[in-house]
Amino acid sequence: MYTISQLFIYPIKSLGGFEVSSAQLTDRGLQYDRRFMLVDSSNNFLTQREHPVMSLLQTNIEGNELVIFHKKNAADKISVPLQPVPAATVSVKVWDDECAAQYVNNGADEWLTKQLSMSCRLVYMPDGEKRLVDEQYAKNKEITSFSDGYPLLIIGQASLNDLNSRLEQPLPINRFRPNIVFTGGQPYDEDTMEHVKVNGIDMYGVKLCARCTMTTINQSTAKKAKEPLKTLAGYRMRNNKIYFGQNILYKQTGQLKVGNVIEAIKVKPHDLFTETGIF
pLDDT in tens, 145-177: 999 999 999 999 999 999 999 999 999 999 999
Question: Is residue 197 exposed (0-12), middle (13-18) or buried (19+ Cβ within 10 Å)?
Answer: middle
Q: pLDDT tens across 62-94, in order?
A: 999 999 999 999 999 999 999 999 999 999 999
Which of 114, 129, 144 is the C-terminal boundary of a domain? 129
pLDDT of residue 274: 58
Closest CA to 131 of 93, 171, 78: 93
Residue 272 lies in a domain: no
* Global pTM value: 0.96
Q: pLDDT tens across 244-256, in order?
A: 999 999 999 999 9
Which of 81, 103, 129 is the C-terminal boundary of a domain? 129
Q: pLDDT tens across 88-99, in order?
A: 999 999 999 999
The domain in which residue 150 lies consists of 2-29+133-267
Kindly state whether residues 148 and 13 are assigned to the same domain.
yes
pLDDT of residue 269: 85
Report, in angstroms and rounded to the nearest whole number, the Rg of the chain calculated over CA atoms: 18
Name residues whose C-beta falls within 8 Å of residue 43's C-beta, 6 or more positions apart in sequence: 90, 91, 92, 93, 121, 123
Residue 203 lies in a domain: yes
Closest CA to 121 of 197, 216, 222, 46: 46
Give CA separation, 9 vs 25, 63, 88, 110, 181, in Å. Answer: 11, 15, 26, 24, 12
Mean pLDDT value across the chain: 96
Residue 216 lies in a domain: yes
Which of 129, 157, 191 is the C-terminal boundary of a domain? 129
Over residues 34-51, the mean pLDDT reads 98
Kindly state whether residues 245 and 115 are assigned to the same domain.
no
For the chain, the domain total comes to 2
Cβ atoms of residues 124 and 104 within 8 Å: yes
Per-residue pLDDT band at 277 (split at 50, 70, 90): very low
pLDDT of residue 270: 76
pLDDT higher for 270 or 243?
Answer: 243
**Residue 213: how many CB atoms within 10 A of its CB?**
14
Residue 279 lies in a domain: no
Kindly state whether residues 167 and 206 are assigned to the same domain.
yes
Q: Which residues pair with 243 in a beta bridge?
A: 210
The answer to whether residue 271 scores a pLDDT higher than 70 is: no
Closest CA to 237 of 201, 267, 270, 210: 210
Kindly state whether residues 117 and 139 are assigned to the same domain.
no
Give the integer Cα–Cα distance in Å for 174 and 214: 10
Cβ atoms of residues 232 and 244 within 8 Å: yes
Over residues 190-210, the mean pLDDT reads 98
pLDDT of residue 58: 98
Kindly state whether residues 147 and 242 are assigned to the same domain.
yes
Cβ atoms of residues 250 and 152 within 8 Å: yes
Give the integer Cα–Cα distance in Å for 17 and 180: 13
Closest CA to 79 of 65, 63, 98: 65
CATH code where residue 247 lies? 2.40.33.20
pLDDT of residue 15: 98
